Chains A and B, each alone.
Chain A
């Protein structure tokens, strides 16, 4: 089969969605099909630009290439999933989140700050409601994304988990003297919350962050907070790390801190589980809650500095318990039988 994977991306921004699209392409190829990525460059501001991109997607014709039929389009992201195709399957990573659950989020909300925000929001919601059902099957990244799609758009879907890249290479190392927080540095990942929590810890917990900031301003905010709270000797910014370094950092940490706002899925959680490390997450962190069982595979804190600090102190002082939770996490991952073979089979059936 000739299969196109349709997605959208913000130029020069690389995150989990881009990795997933590449992995999907490789997995489809491994299953003996031809697969290519079609990525629509997406600029979400000013708000009216969003409508332009929606229309641009609707005007694309991906039914054939040089007279040869394209058998299937697998669409991943807004607005690429609006592309019409008779054999389209959607594997929804997420909708345009600031038109939905992040509409009035104090840090992430963007549309809400403009005069035309409500009408653009309504236009996105209406297009989703009417056009997502064009697909012959609708899968999502997680139960969390399926829940939102049902709640906001009234559309049923099936969650389809996928493994992180190079899942087989993650390993468990000796328990180190730091907590690890790998993620893009941006408001919704809440590095700022972890920093404030660190300031409230009773123990001298150390936190190592890996990942690049979406903008220099966001890194500067974090740096300023660390300075103001006098945490410079307990915080380390590693920036972008290689995949191998990342696996080592997972393998050798005491536990992983991952408190994002309503994460769609969260490879970080899966990578921690694969490394047999407990995960501290928050009760509003979304996808990670599908894998973190409180006090079994990690700790679920409230999204406040106080509560997060308490969880960090708990791991720091009870390392035996941390190790047990880490092992339970790995076992849970194995139980879920997450594999690309399963993903490809579902998307191509």
Chain B
């Protein structure tokens, strides 16, 4: 049986991966496998400790002896350095399965190296490693404020920096790493993001709560950790720009990357009576807000590429949703969401808001279709696919030291042997390294 070292943010961390993803997957995972939940958080919620054993690690000195009792480590990486910094530090030292919750990780590395560590050299070296001199120059320009964060994230996602040395990579998106030119040198799997949909009676209660207020002002909701790419500024601008704005009430639930800036904008646009900033809400209040909202706005631009657990949660409540036509969101069924083009953002948001006022029923049907699609996201299926992938990826384990060895040989030869003379030796060494790590067994 697989013994799994699981590294992810865990409740009470204010992260969707902790609050939703982990809590959806871990019960199913722990039912079938021996799981240890590794954390560097100060606190872990009691309900997590009821699912599996929680163990602590120091990212600077991980307890390798204990970790090596496991068969494989599964590292969950996303863009928030507070939640994923420690996990990444372990993952670079011990190969395992890397689960990407964002496909563009430039922000993560920038914040880990520049904001937290003031390690400009590592940041620039990583850019040079994957994108050559162009990457380094762009990094220098970015550090000096010459390039926008969005542009850096899209052009230089640095995702390979996170998957380098991994035994396997799991994503939750139809959008491939190949499209981003970030294909890792290991097997990949795209799995449907897991989600446990609420039982029907509960869903009916939510519908009833929503129907209790069938008239304007309609409640719009934005929720989750609200980084800049959540487009809150564009949403506010769109709302302010339509005469029918008084028919909406916008509730913003979640931490905002720059709350002062947003408050100023709300004031300047004259939206103070229509927009409420509620901050991070406990689960119970989130439920109350989502069950009484009429429509959600869940934009991303630039998209960091990954599937959104929050979108699945919005669908669970049967909420019609505005999404950006980009990344994973762009691959959602046309009839289950309303799309916003990044280049016509404000205009499209306004069009959808007006359409909603004209015919709310069309939007309600959209949300219901989203909820029905959740049957594809069964965590049991997810856990089964993940374990099969991990078992297969483990067979690649001997290739990790073999590749490192190949790198050392290439680097060493280049220092003392002329390229023409080294060809024979490189060829011999390559063949013998392949012989050392080749697995000729057939899979059952």
Tell me the A residues contacting B by CB distance below 8 Å: 47-48, 51-52, 54-55, 58-59, 82, 104, 112-120, 122-123, 125-127, 129-131
Question: Are B398 and A127 in touch, CB under 8 angstroms?
Answer: yes
Residues of B within 8 A of A113 (CB): 64-65, 68
Question: Are B64 and A58 in touch, CB under 8 angstroms?
Answer: no
**At the interface, yes or no: B401 with Cβ under 8 Å from chain A?**
yes
Residues of B within 8 A of A115 (CB): 62, 64, 67, 93-94
Question: Are B436 and A119 in touch, CB under 8 angstroms?
Answer: no
Question: Are A122 and B397 in touch, CB under 8 angstroms?
Answer: yes
Question: Are A112 and B65 in touch, CB under 8 angstroms?
Answer: yes
Question: Are A55 and B433 in touch, CB under 8 angstroms?
Answer: yes
Among B28-36, B121-129, B221-229, B402-410, the one that faces the other chain is: B402-410
Tell me the B residues contacting A by CB distance below 8 Å: 62, 64-65, 67-69, 93-95, 394, 397-398, 400-402, 404-405, 408-409, 428-429, 432-433, 435-441
Question: Are B65 and A51 in touch, CB under 8 angstroms?
Answer: no
Residues of B within 8 A of A126 (CB): 398, 436-439
Task: Assess A52 versus B405: contact at CB under 8 Å? Given A59-B432, A114-B64, A118-B397.
Answer: yes
User: A58-B435, A112-B64 are known contacts; what are 13 more A-B pairs with Cβ within 8 Å?
Assistant: A48-B401, A48-B404, A55-B409, A55-B432, A112-B68, A113-B65, A119-B398, A120-B401, A123-B397, A123-B401, A129-B441, A130-B438, A131-B436
Question: Are A119 and B95 in touch, CB under 8 angstroms?
Answer: yes
**Chain B residue nearest to A124 in the complex (CB):** B398
Question: Are A51 and B428 in touch, CB under 8 angstroms?
Answer: no
Task: Assess A119 versus B397: contact at CB under 8 Å? Given A51-B402, A130-B440.
Answer: yes
A131 CB to closest chain B CB, in angstroms?
7
Q: Is the interface of B mostly helix, strand, loop or mixed?
A: helix
B172 CB to closest chain A CB, in angstroms?
26
Question: Are B64 and A55 in touch, CB under 8 angstroms?
Answer: no
Task: Assess A55 versus B436: contact at CB under 8 Å? Given A115-B62, A122-B397, A123-B402.
Answer: yes
Residues of A within 8 A of B394 (CB): 122
Question: Are B398 and A123 in touch, CB under 8 angstroms?
Answer: yes
Question: Are A118 and B435 in touch, CB under 8 angstroms?
Answer: no
Residues of A within 8 A of B62 (CB): 115
**Chain B residue nearest to A113 in the complex (CB):** B65
**Chain B residue nearest to A131 in the complex (CB):** B435
Question: Are B439 and A130 in touch, CB under 8 angstroms?
Answer: yes
B279 CB to closest chain A CB, in angstroms?
39
The 6 closest A-B pairs by CB, nearest first: A123-B398, A122-B397, A58-B432, A115-B93, A126-B398, A115-B94
B417 CB to closest chain A CB, in angstroms?
14
A194 CB to closest chain B CB, in angstroms?
26
Residues of A within 8 A of B438 (CB): 126, 130
Instruction: Pick from A104, A117, A130: contact of B435, CB below 8 A.
Output: A130
Give Cα A286 to B340, complex, Å: 71
Give Cα A58 to B425, complex, Å: 12
List 21 A-B pairs, Cβ < 8 Å: A48-B401, A48-B404, A51-B404, A51-B405, A51-B436, A52-B405, A55-B432, A55-B436, A58-B435, A59-B428, A59-B432, A104-B69, A115-B67, A116-B400, A116-B401, A118-B68, A119-B400, A123-B397, A127-B398, A127-B437, A129-B441
Give Cα A119 to B433, complex, Å: 15
Instruction: Pick from B69, B398, B408, B409: contact of A122, CB below 8 A.
Output: B398
B73 CB to closest chain A CB, in angstroms?
9
B435 CB to closest chain A CB, in angstroms?
7
Give Cα A131 to B95, complex, Å: 25
- Most chain A Cβ neighbours within 10 Å, of B398, B409, B433: B398
Residues of B within 8 A of A118 (CB): 68, 94, 397
Give Cα A59 to B433, complex, Å: 10
B225 CB to closest chain A CB, in angstroms?
31
Give Cα A129 to B440, complex, Å: 10
B111 CB to closest chain A CB, in angstroms?
24
